[in-house]
Amino acid sequence: METIREEIEKIEKSAEKLKALGENNPSLRRNAEILLNFVYVLKFIAPDLKNLP
């Protein structure tokens, strides 16, 4: 699960960056936001048991 979490975080960072780069491009920005919505779902379905409180 650790590797999976790492990959999800990579996507998250990349999507955040795309969103910032798309500041003046609604299409790029919205698609990056949508990626982040899926990142939220991915994190939810792949919880990292080691880091649970």
Partner 1 sequence: MNYWNPYLETMAQEELKRIELSYFRNIFSHAKAHSALYREKLRDIHPNDLRTLEDIKKIPLTEKEEMRKYQEMEPFPYGGLLAGDISDVTTFRQTSGTTGKPIYVPETYESWQWRIEAWCHILYMAGFRPRHRIFLPFGYNVYVAFWEAHYASEKLGCEVIPGGALDTKGRIHKIMEIRANGMMNTPTYGLHIAEEAKKMGIDPGTLGIERMLCAGEPMPSATRTRLEELYHCHVFDHIGGTEPCAWAGMCEAKDGLHIIEPFFLVEILDRETLQKEVAEGEIGVAVVTPLGRRSFPLVRFNTKDLVVKGKTSCSCGRTTQKIREVVGRTDDLRKVRGVLFSPKTVEEVIRKEFQEVEEFEIIVERRGLMDVISLRAEVQPQLPVGLIEGTKARLAESLKIATNLSFNVIIEPPGSLPRYTLKAKRFKDLREG
Contact residues: partner 1, CB under 8 A: 1, 33-34, 37-38, 40-41, 44-47, 49, 52-53
Nearest to partner 1 of 26, 53 (CB atom): 53
d(CA 20, CA 36): 12
Q: Give residue 44's identity as a one-letter amino acid code.
A: F
CB 25 → partner 1: shortest distance, Å?
Answer: 18
Overall size of the chain counted in residues: 53
Contact 46, 4 (CB under 8 A): yes
| Smallest distance from partner 1 to CB 38, Å | 6
